[in-house]
Structure 1
């Protein structure tokens, strides 16, 4: 009896499995699908939702070549078939071929966009397959086809096609030269109207497969908006939407809004990503910590002080239930729009000398770097989980950052008056608690090959821009 073994092929992602067939004189038994063992052996955890069987009662029945918009795991329960596959996905492997005989002791994993065909060699043949999306007429409309007799693929059919049984539709499919390659799954950016959303739109403006939507197009706090949105085309979802008004979150109305967006709305995105087998990138915050330690690692448990931090921490926990996720934790975000750096530059220009807190310590994060870090994670695909992303360099106080802004814009940094947080907010009501230390440890993200810019250099470039 063979061991369960997973083999790679010339087509990226197309895998052949040897299946154990224990048996005796009465027959055999096999575990045709065993998630735990097969994933451990190297099969993707592809999440099948439908099981189909194609029954072929005659030798020579030939079906294909069909590339479908889902992943597929195939085997036979009885009989013997010849399987053939052609990569119809856009990219360097377009047109690559592979063929293999399938018996009860063999299974094949076929990734989305790879054309699949089979020919019955021993009948009756029960050809069984699992797929990770439900069949529908709309889904079938997204199939891509290749002619079984394509000369470029040159599949060595054991039974010549002239002697085989084919459908009229299969004989009419196009040759490879006329096939439009299957494009990669699309990327969706939610919250395109915010600072990060605009930075992602700028970074990915040349990518035709990226869609950036604003709250008017998709409001994750509104269940009807989410239900009406078509997530089917997307293989990656970047959540740049958030309720970030930390003081307003302490009010009755703001509290409800913060929970609706940062937790309940995030949960809706998680379920949408789960249903589409999509990667979810979610942006988190230093406010999930109480700031009691100088440097926060990804392993530190959350300890939020205020409502905003509580909603972000809860949203992170929901995202973590999704196997394929990246939680990008950041702090002191600065981009195109309303932010601390822009406010200080405006005050300097208008001749206003502000008091700025000097006992909250952290690092700026420029949306350009944050967007590039997200792009890096999606391109390199390190292990799922939390990744801290901020600018690099020595942590500084808000007062020190303000002084740098004044100096870099040609104004006297001595115009900044450092004050404590307690003194700054004395007599004010409805103020959310702030973490005293917001600096995030960057060792994990840098280990993936991403190098954030030093914050003061990035600040200079930002102000010049």
Structure 2
């Protein structure tokens, strides 16, 4: 009996699966689709949602070549067919062809955009396939077709097409030279108006497969906005949107909005990613910790002090339920727009001498570095999980960093007065608790080949190129 095995083919992502078939005098039995065993053997965890059967009553029935906007898992319940596939996706393998005979002991995994066809060799043939999306007329409009007799593919049909039974539509499909290649699925950036969204827009400005949307197009706080948005074109979603007003989150209205965006809305986004088999990149925060540890690793259990941290910790748990996800945990974010560095530079220029907290310790994270780390993760695709991303170097207090800003902008760093957190907030109401230690362990992201910049060098570069004030 054949052992379960998954084999690659010359078409990237097209896989041949050997299926064990148990038989005796009564007939045979097989596990046609067994998620746990097949994923362990190397099949993608593709999540089928619909099962179709094509019954073919005569030898020579030939169907195709159709490239569809979903993944397919093909097998035969009875009979035998000759299967043929042509890569119609944009890229270097466009036009590559492969063929394989399929009986009850063989299955084929066909990725989105690869043209699929078959010819009945033994009838009746019940050709069955699992797909990753529900059929609709809108989905059918996205099919890409190739003529069965295309000379470039040169498929050696066992029964000549002149003697085969073909539909009129299949006889009128274009040759390869006239086929518009299936474009790759797109990348969606949510929160495009924020600091990280702007950094991702700048990094990916030359990519034609990236869509960046602001809150006017996709609002995580609005269920109707999420329900109306079409996520089907996207293989990757980067969530750069969040409610980040940590003090406002302690108020009645702010608490509701923080949960609406960071948990409820994110939960809907997670389900959209799940139903469309998209990878989700989500940005987390040092506020998921209470700061009692000097350095926080990715595996440290959450221990948030305030509402904002609680919502971020809850959101992280939702994202982690996806098979393809990257939670990018960061701290002390600096980018284009209002932020600590811009505030300190502005105070220095206006002659204001600030008191700054000196007992909260951590590292800065510049949005250019966060964007570069996200790009790195999506390019290299390490195993799903949490990745800490900030600048590297000696951790410092806010007061130390404020002094560096003053010095780097040509002002006396002694104008910055270090104070404790308790002193700084002594006469202020409605202040969220802050973690005393926000330093994140960077060894995991380094192990992927990404090298974070040293924070003072990054700060110097940021100010040299013009920090917003």
- TM interval, shorter chain, is over 0.9
- Tell me the equivalent position of 1:411: 411
**Partners of 1:452 and 1:184 in 2: CA distance:** 30
Q: What's the CA shift for 1:180?
A: 1.1
Which residue number corresponds to residue 25 of structure 1? 25
Q: Residues 107-186 of structure 1 correspond to what in structure 2 (within 5 A)?
A: 107-186=107-186
RMSD of aligned alpha carbons = 0.6
The CA deviation at 1:93 is 1.1
C-alpha displacement at 1:384, in angstroms?
Answer: 0.4
Partner of 1:82: 82
Deviations 1:19-39 (Å, cap 9, x if unpaired)? 111111111111111111111
Q: Does 1:2 align with 2:11?
A: no
Aligned to 2:234: 234
Instruction: Give the total of aligned pairs.
Output: 465
Partner of 2:222: 222
Q: Which runs of 5+ in 2 are unaligned?
A: none
Q: How much does 1:273 deviate? A: 0.3
CA distance in 2 between counterparts of 1:413 and 1:176 reads 68
Structure 1: 4+ residue segments shifted above 2 A? none
Distance 1:74 1:136 in 2: 20
Give the Cα–Cα distance (whole angstroms) in 1 for the partners of residues 94 and 212 of structure 2.
28
Query: Does residue 429 in structure 1 map to residue 429 in structure 2?
Result: yes
3-state secondary structure, aligned to 2:318: helix
Q: CA deviation at 1:187?
A: 0.6
The correspondence of residues 97-116 of structure 1 with structure 2, limited to 5 A, is 97-116=97-116
Tell me the residue number matched to 1:354. Answer: 354
State the distance in 2 between where 1:29 and 1:309 align.
53
What SS class does the counterpart of residue 387 from structure 2 fall into?
strand
Output the TM-score relative to the length of structure 2: 0.98
Task: State the shift of 1:73 in Å.
Answer: 0.2
In the TM superposition, what are the counterparts of 1:5-404 in structure 2 within 5 Å? 5-404=5-404
Give deviations 1:36-85, integer Å, cap 9, x for gaps.
11111111010000000001011111111111000000000111100000
Post-superposition Cα deviations, 1:247-301, rounded to whole Å, max 9, x if no partner, equal 0100111111111111111101001101100001000000000000111000000
2:445 is the alignment partner of 1:445: yes
User: What is the TM-score normalised by the length of structure 1?
Assistant: 0.99
| Partners of 1:373 and 1:91 in 2: CA distance | 25
Distance of 1:265 and 1:461 partners within structure 2: 36
SS at match of 2:280: strand
SS at 1:130 equivalent: strand
Offset of residue 13 of structure 1? 0.7
SS in 2 for 1:81: strand
